[in-house]
Amino acid sequence: MTTDEPAGASAAPSLTARHPRVPADRLLAELAPPRHFAHESFDTYRPDVAHPSQRRALDRLREVADALAAPARAGRWWRRAAAPAAPAVYLDGGFGVGKTHLLASLAHAVGLERTVYGTFVELTNLVGALGFAPTVDALAAHRLVCIDEFELDDPGDTVLMSRLLRELADRGVALAATSNTLPGALGEGRFAAEDFLREIQALAARFEVLRIDGDDHRHRTVSTHAARLDDAAVRAAVAARPGATIDGFDALLDHLATVHPSRYGALLDGVPLVGLTGVHQVDRQDVALRLVVLVDRLYDRDVPVVLAGDDADLFTDAMLAGGYRKKYARALSRLAALTVQGAATTAAP
């Protein structure tokens, strides 16, 4: 990645000074399990004996991994039997039952060099950056494509992803997906399999649904309140961390509009802490959705955040009740967790 940044070091670098230019091969290389699942495997998944579906899902995914790892059988010249369809599995379960752990484990078992692993948003952004046909060609060079947090709240993106998956399946690429069910959404469809299968239509018959029952294994209370500090505390936290950045909230939001969302990860290269001042409620949907993508990339990279600003809710009530409510709820939960990490840095001696 290269950036257009002013010459000379700054005591307080900013994200708005970064204009990442990311080659296509890097965009693809970054499609891998998130950092906090980098060392997980089937062996580190602990099925709850009270919920046998967890063991069944684990065993079935081991079988899928073994099948994908096996070399392709050479056909005989006198028999041109059609090759069997590549596996396609959908992990259907509530929050905290280990769907992402199992999906990452499948990717590791098949081999990261043979697998593309990304969230629904990352893959739709990849299509936006590369174009549809080049994306299909790039992904089809792999044995397995994993889609975490498959989102059903944007009809256009869902149709796009359904078409992408159909093209990949037709080329013999194995597929695996999870849903994006969140704690606050448990009452409105804990298991999203029916919605998923309806939306992917032509592909529905190819997918095998692996239902995973159980409770949130972390047994945690999920907070959606991102802690706010004062400006002085944010600046002090940034000054204490070499490479940390500080930006005014409005300036950063304006800057995000000039950077393709597929490059938001590169925007954070080498950044150990992000500080923002002047944080306030966002009332425009396009701005809010770009902020959601940035929060996802911060979370994937475990980058702590410190915020200064008013105590108003980050998103409006209409947003939190609208069609993108799951995206906003996820962003609030993740940002709250990142500010807890950020606050811990200010408490350090």
Q: Tell me the pLDDT of the chain averaged across its residues.
A: 85
Specify the pLDDT at position 344: 86
Residue with tokens 């095998």: 208
Q: Which carries the bigger pLDDT value, residue 222 or residue 171?
A: 171
How is the beta sheet containing 88-93 ordered, strand by strand? Answer: 115-119, 144-150, 174-179, 88-93, 208-212
Rounded to the nearest 10 degrees, the angle between the axes of helix 132-140 and helix 155-170 is 40
d(CA 334, CA 332): 5
Helix (H, G, I), strand (E, B) or coil at 17: helix
pLDDT of residue 152: 73
HSE of 305, CA atoms in CB hemisphere, 13 A: 31
Question: Angle CA(321)–CA(325)–CA(328) in degrees, nearest 5?
Answer: 125
Residue 7 reports pLDDT greater than 80: no
CATH code of the domain made up of 25-70+85-212: 3.40.50.300
Return the pLDDT at 9. Answer: 41
pLDDT digits (tens, 9 = 90+) for 164-209: 999 999 999 999 999 865 434 433 444 566 777 777 777 778 889 8
**pTM across the whole model:** 0.80
Q: Is the pLDDT of residue 349 over 60?
A: no
Contact 238, 211 (CB under 8 A): no
> Could you tell me the pLDDT band of residue 326, with boundaries at 50, 70 and 90?
confident
HSE of 4, CA atoms in CB hemisphere, 13 A: 4
pLDDT of residue 159: 85
Nearest to 263 by CA among 67, 110, 128, 105: 128
